[in-house]
Every structure is written in structure tokens, then in C-alpha cells.
Structure 1
Amino acid sequence: MGFFLETLIGGLMTGMLYSLIALGFVLIFKASGVFNFAQGAMVLFAALAMARFSEWIPAGLGIESKTLGNILAFLAAMAVMVGVAWVIERWVLGKLVNQEGITLLMATLGVTYFLDGAGQTIFGSDIYKIDVGLPKDPIFLLENVFQGGILVGQEDLYAALIAASMVAVLAAFFQYTATGRALRAVADDHQAAQSIGIPLNRIWVIVWSVAGFVALVAGIIWGSKLGVQFSLSLVALKALPVVILGGLTSVPGAIIGGLIIGVGEKLSEVYIGSMVGGGIEIWFAYALALVFLLVRPQGLFGEKIIDRV
């Protein structure tokens, strides 16, 4: 039982990180109707910016405090992501208002390759470290209940708590603020939103900036765990099955979908992987997403769209 709970908790913590990245997909889709294939590249770009700024800024300003250096690096990386959001709105999405969905999807694919290349050109292509002070030593929980206790990584625990807090704050922002309601109005109908005075360009900059902030936090967490390298963009793409499972238009769906994927891949790898040679964790999420596409394409909490002709 103790080992099962250990695996379950590990899956929940990983799932929370998937949910955080998936939230970036959901935010942009809800506000613009665009499936942002560039979210993974945004995570990599943001993590590269954070890693390099945490080296350059303390060295350039002669800052000895690691905490202050990390704060300044975070602010600089966030400024870069806001700049990226402005460029995407100004030179890509702003030119494609009311175009077909496939056109917008192809535009985000172009943004993906641009960010991948620009990130490595500007910041370098080596493997970089991000150290924001998250404790890495594991701890044992419930030692009085289970013999030997349950082994939990402190870094994973703190990362999951940060991700959960971010998801809660952004969900509240989307649901209860005037800007959040404007984002939903823009998603429903671009032209109607413009006709009642909602500035479409400003809304898109805001939502891409928020998605950039989400990408930055996710990039810092994953970069701290795995190092900042090209594979981060592939890790971020694990959020694709999450949004398919939870629903492209649902913030709660991103949370539930992430937890299901995280727990499912951990349990299947531990209990089934040994019987089939392992590797289930790599493809489990995509296989589950395929099943949902066949059975319930809109996901668990997504809106079922009916077109009348």
C-alpha cells in the first residue's frame, strides 16, 4: 500500500505540472480560438531566458545575493515574454483576424520554429541549469503508518504546490475579473466583441503575455528538474493529451486532465511496464488521448459544438 501511495503521489505532482502547461493552451484557445502549437517552444524559450539571465545579470551588476539575482532574472525573462507576446500579436495574429482555424494553427507552427531557432541563437544551445533554491533532498511521510514511510521528493512537492497555486489564481482571474470576461467574449466572436468596444489587439497581447508567464513558471520548474535543453519543448507537448482529455475550453478540465495523465502514466509504468518491457510512460498519454478523440472528442469538460446548416 505504501508503494502504491508513493507512486500515486508522484503521479499527482507530475500531473499538476502538466496541468500548468496545459493551462497555457486553454487560455489562448479560450481568448482567440487558436490552438497554440507554440506553447512548448514558449516554455523552452522562457526557460532559456531565465537560465541565461540568472548568469548574466548577477555577473554584469556584481550582485552576490542569489535570491536577488534570481528575482531580477525572472523579471527580465518576463519582460522578454511580454515582448514576444506583443510581436506575435502585432506581426502574426493581428494580420489574421477572422481567418480560418487551420490558418491560425499553421501560424503558431511558424511561431514554434521561430522561437526554437531564436532561443538557441540568442541564448545558446548548451544544457543550462536553473537553481531557484528548490530543495532537492527527498523526505519520508507517514512513517508511523507505513513501514519506512512514503518517499516524496521535496522539489516535486514544492513544484506541485507552485503549479496548483498558479492554476487557482489564473482560473479565478478568468472567471471573476472584467478582463477575464472580455477574454471569453473575444473567444466567442471576434467581430461581436469588437463591435461592443472590446479592443481585440490589447486582449490578445494580454492573453499571450499570461501564457508567456505560465510558460516561464513551467520552464523554471522543469528546467530546475531536468536542466534547460531542447527536450523541454517535447516535455511541454505532453500537455497536448491533457487538453484533449480535459477539453480545450475548460480550465478545470486542464487540471483534471493533467492529474489523470500524471497518475495514469506513473501507475501504468510501474505495474504494467515490467510485464511488457517498459516504456509505457512515453506513449500512455497519447494513447489515452486517442481513445478520447474516438469516444468523446470534446473532452471531459469541453463544450460540444453543434453547427446547424
Structure 2
Amino acid sequence: MAFFLETLFGGLMTGMLYSLVALGFVLIFKASGVFNFAQGAMVLIAALSMARFSEWIPQWLGIESLLLANVLAFSVSAVFMWLIAVAIERWALRYLVNQEGTTLLMATIGIAYFLDGMGQMLFGSNVYSIDVGMPKDPVFILDSMFEGGLLISLEDLTAAGVSALLVAALAIFFQYTSVGRALRAVADDHQAAQSIGIPLNRIWVVVWTVAGVVALVAGVIWGSKFGVQFTLSTAALRALPVVILGGLTSVPGAIIGGLIIGVGEKLSEVYLGPYVGGGIEIWFAYMLALVFLLFRPQGLFGEKIIDRV
């Protein structure tokens, strides 16, 4: 039982990381109705900026405090992601208003390649580390219930707590603020939103900035656990089944979908892997996503799209 609970908890923590990346997809889709293939590149460049600024700022300012250096590096990285959002809106999106979804999709693919190249040009192509002071040592809990207790990673637990706070803040932002309502209106119909005075360019800057900050948080957590390297951009591929499962228009769906896939991967690999030669963790999420595409393409919590002609 103890081993099962450890595996279950590990799957939940992995699922939270998937959910953070998936949130970027959901945010962009809710505001523009387009699937953002640049989200993986945004996670990469955000993590690179955090890693490099956390190295450079102490050298520039002579700061010895790790906490202060990380706070400044995170703030500068957030501003950097805002500048990227402004540039994307000004030089790409404003010329694509009311265009077909395929056109916007191709634009995000081009943005992804641009961000990959810019990240390498500005920050280098080596493997970097991020140290934000997250506890690395595991702890044992529930000693009285299980012999030897349960082995829990404090780093994973901290990451899950940060993710939960971020999700709660985003849910409140979308449901109870005027900007959040404007974002939903823009996603439904660009022309109708403009006709009632919603500034489309500002809304897109806001949502890409929020998606950039989400990518920054995800990049910091991934970078702290595994290091920052250019393969980090492929993390978005791990999040694709999450948004398919949870629904492209649902913030809670991204979280629940991530948890389901994280737990499913771990449990299937541990308990079914020995019987089929292993490797289930690699393809489990994609097979589950395929099933949903066949029988419930809008996902668990996504809105069913009905076109009337």
C-alpha cells in the first residue's frame, strides 16, 4: 500500500508540471481561438532568462542574497516575457485579425522557431541550472501508519503548492474581472468584441503576457528539477494530451487532465510495464488523448462547439 501511495503521489506531482505547461495553451486559446504551438518555446526562453539573469544580476549588482537575486531575476524575466508579448502582438497578431484559424496556427509555429533562435542568441545554448531554494531532500511521512513511512519529495510538494496558487489566481482572473470577461468575448468573436469597444490589441498583449508568466513559473520549476536545456521546449509535447483530455477552453480542465495523465503514466508504468516490456509511460498519454478525440473531442470540461448554418 505504501508503494502504491508513493507512486500515486509522484504521478500527481508530475501531473501538476504538465498542467502548468497546458495552462499556456488554454490561456491563448481562450483569448484568440488558436492553438499556440509556441508555448513550448515560451517555457524554454522563460527558463533560460531566469537561469541567466539569476547568474548575471548578482555579478552586476554585487548581491550575495540568493533570495533577493532570485526575486530580481524573476521580476526581470517577467518583464522580458511582457516585452515578447508586446512584440508578438505588434509585429504578428495585429495583422492577422479575423484571419482563418489555420493562418493563426502557422503564425504560432513561426513564433516558436523565432523564440528558439532568439533564446540561443541571447542566452547561449549550454545547459544551465536554476536554484530558487526549493528543498531537494525527500522526507518520510505517516510513519505510524506504514512501516518505514512514505517517501515524499519536498521539491515536488512545493511545486504543487505553487501551481495550485497560480491556478486559483487564474480562475479568479477569468471569472471575476472585466479583463477576464473581455478575453472570453474576444475568443468567441473578434469582430463582435471590437464592435462593443474591446481593444483587441491590448487584450492579446495581456493574454500573451499572462501565458508568458505561466510559462516562466513552469520553466523555473522544470529547470530547478531537471536543468535548463533546449530539449525543454519539447515539454509542450507532453502537455498536448493534457489539453485534449481536459478541454482547450477550461482552466480547471488543464489541471485535472494533467493530474489524470500524470497518475496514469506512473501507475501503468509501474504495474503494467513489467508485463509488456516497459515503455508505457512514453505513449500512455497519447493513447488516452486519441480515445478522447474519437469519443469526446471537446475533452472533459471543454465547451462543445455547435456551428449553425
Shorter-chain TM-score above 0.5: yes
The CA distance in 2 between the partners of 1:207 and 1:118, in whole Å, is: 21
Letter in 2 for 1:39: Q
SS in 2 for 1:139: strand
Q: Tell me the equivalent position of 1:274.
A: 274
Letter in 2 for 1:199: P
The yes-or-no answer on 1:203 pairing with 2:203 is yes
Letter in 1 for 2:177: T
Q: Tell me the equivalent position of 1:109.
A: 109
The CA distance in 1 between the partners of 2:88 and 2:283, in whole Å, is: 32
The CA distance in 1 between the partners of 2:202 and 2:128, in whole Å, is: 34
Q: Tell me the equivalent position of 2:245.
A: 245
SS in 2 for 1:127: coil
How many residue pairs get aligned? The number is: 309
SS in 1 for 2:129: coil
- Deviation at residue 275 of structure 1 after TM alignment: 1.7
- Deviation at residue 281 of structure 1 after TM alignment: 1.2
SS in 1 for 2:308: coil
Q: Tell me the equivalent position of 1:175.
A: 175
SS in 2 for 1:72: helix
Q: Tell me the equivalent position of 2:53.
A: 53
- Deviation at residue 237 of structure 1 after TM alignment: 2.3
Q: Tell me the equivalent position of 1:32.
A: 32
The yes-or-no answer on 1:78 pairing with 2:78 is yes
The CA distance in 2 between the partners of 1:176 and 1:237, in whole Å, is: 31
Kept in 1, the 8 Å contact 2:138–2:154? The answer is yes
Letter in 2 for 1:227: G
Deviations 1:97-141 (A, max 9, x none): 000001100100001111111101110111000000000000111
- Deviation at residue 306 of structure 1 after TM alignment: 1.6
Q: CA RMSD in A?
A: 0.8
The CA distance in 1 between the partners of 2:28 and 2:37, in whole Å, is: 10
The yes-or-no answer on 1:21 pairing with 2:21 is yes
Q: Tell me the equivalent position of 1:301.
A: 301
The CA distance in 2 between the partners of 1:49 and 1:117, in whole Å, is: 14
The CA distance in 2 between the partners of 1:233 and 1:171, in whole Å, is: 26
The yes-or-no answer on 1:124 pairing with 2:124 is yes
Q: Tell me the equivalent position of 2:233.
A: 233
The CA distance in 1 between the partners of 2:86 and 2:267, in whole Å, is: 42
Deviations 1:166-208 (A, max 9, x none): 0111111111111101111111111111111110000000000
Deviations 1:246-285 (A, max 9, x none): 1001111111101101100010111111222222112211
TM-score for the superposition, normalised by structure 1: 0.98
Kept in 1, the 8 Å contact 2:16–2:163? The answer is yes
The CA distance in 2 between the partners of 1:42 and 1:237, in whole Å, is: 13
Q: Tell me the equivalent position of 2:262.
A: 262
The yes-or-no answer on 1:138 pairing with 2:135 is no
Once structures 1 and 2 are overlaid, which stretch shifts more, 236-245 or 101-110?
Answer: 236-245
Q: Segments of 4+ in structure 1 off by > 6 A? A: none
The CA distance in 1 between the partners of 2:263 and 2:55, in whole Å, is: 35
The CA distance in 2 between the partners of 1:271 and 1:137, in whole Å, is: 26
The CA distance in 2 between the partners of 1:20 and 1:165, in whole Å, is: 11
SS in 1 for 2:212: helix
Kept in 1, the 8 Å contact 2:21–2:235? The answer is no
TM-score for the superposition, normalised by structure 2: 0.98
Aligned identity (percent) is 77
The CA distance in 1 between the partners of 2:71 and 2:308, in whole Å, is: 52
The CA distance in 1 between the partners of 2:271 and 2:35, in whole Å, is: 34
Letter in 1 for 2:170: L
Letter in 1 for 2:42: M
Structure 2 runs not aligned, ≥5 long: none
Q: How does 1:208-219 map to 2 (within 5 A)?
A: 208-219=208-219
Letter in 1 for 2:179: T
Structure 1 runs not aligned, ≥5 long: none
The CA distance in 1 between the partners of 2:149 and 2:117, in whole Å, is: 46
Deviations 1:54-81 (A, max 9, x none): 0011111111111111111111111110
Q: Tell me the equivalent position of 1:69.
A: 69
- Deviation at residue 302 of structure 1 after TM alignment: 0.9
